[in-house]
Structure 1
Amino acid sequence: MEAFEKLPGEINHLVSSFSSIPVVGDLMTTGITQYTFWLIISSLLVLIILFAFAKRCAVVPQGRFVNGVEFVVEYLENDVGIGILGKESWRRHFPFLMTLFFFIAINNIVGIIPGMKPGTGTISVTAALALVAFVYFVGVGVKNKGAWGYIKSLAPKGVMFPLNILVWVIEVISTLLRPITLAVRLFCNMFAGHIVMGSFALMVSLFAEPLIQQLSLSNAAGALPGLVFAAILFVIYAIEIFVGVIQAYVFTVLTAVYIQGAEAAGH
Structure 2
Amino acid sequence: MDSLVAQLPGLVNELIAGFVSHPVAGDLSVFGISQYTFWMVVAIIVLCLVLFRFVKQQSKSLVPHGVFVNGVEFLVEYVRDNVLKGTVGDTWKKHFPFIATVFFFVLINDLFGLIPGAKPGTGSIAVTGAVATWSFVYFIYIGIQKKGAWGYIKSLAPKGVSFPINLVVWVIEVFSTFLRLVTLAVRLFCNMFAGHVVLGTFAIMASLFFGQIAAGAAPLATMSIGWELILIIIYAVEMLVAVIQAYVFALLSSVYVQLAEND
| TM band (smaller chain) | over 0.9
Deviations 1:5-31 (A, max 9, x none): 100111011110000011112212222
Q: Aligned runs of 1:1-267 on 2, under 5 Å?
A: 1=1, 2-57=3-58, 58-86=61-89, 88-212=90-214, 214=215, 216=216, 219-264=217-262, 266=263
Amino acid in structure 1 at the alignment position of 2:147: K
Ranges in structure 1 where 5+ consecutive residues have no aligned partner: none
Deviations 1:90-140 (A, max 9, x none): 000011111110110110010111111111001000000000000000011
Ranges in structure 2 where 5+ consecutive residues have no aligned partner: none
- Tell me the CA shift for residue 221 of structure 1: 2.6
Supply the distance in 2 between the matched residues of 1:145 and 1:242 (Cα, whole angstroms): 39
- Tell me the CA shift for residue 248 of structure 1: 0.6
Supply the distance in 1 between the matched residues of 2:124 and 2:81 (Cα, whole angstroms): 31
What is the total number of aligned residue pairs between the two structures? Answer: 260
Amino acid in structure 2 at the alignment position of 1:118: P
Supply the distance in 1 between the matched residues of 2:160 and 2:62 (Cα, whole angstroms): 50
Deviations 1:172-218 (A, max 9, x none): 10001101000000000000000000000000111122324x4x3xx
**Runs (4+) of structure 1 moved beyond 3 Å?**
none
Supply the distance in 1 between the matched residues of 2:78 and 2:31 (Cα, whole angstroms): 40
Supply the distance in 1 between the matched residues of 2:232 and 2:212 (Cα, whole angstroms): 22
Supply the distance in 2 between the matched residues of 1:73 and 1:153 (Cα, whole angstroms): 33
Give 3-state SS (helix, strand or coil) of 2:24's partner.
Answer: strand
Supply the distance in 2 between the matched residues of 1:249 and 1:170 (Cα, whole angstroms): 27
Amino acid in structure 2 at the alignment position of 1:180: V
Supply the distance in 1 between the matched residues of 2:209 and 2:25 (Cα, whole angstroms): 34
TM-score by length of 1: 0.95
Give 3-state SS (helix, strand or coil) of 1:31's partner.
Answer: strand
| Identical residues among aligned pairs (%) | 55
Give 3-state SS (helix, strand or coil) of 2:27's partner.
Answer: coil
CA RMSD of aligned residues (A): 1.0
TM-score by length of 2: 0.96
Deviations 1:21-58 (A, max 9, x none): 11112212222111111000011111111111111114
Amino acid in structure 2 at the alignment position of 1:29: V
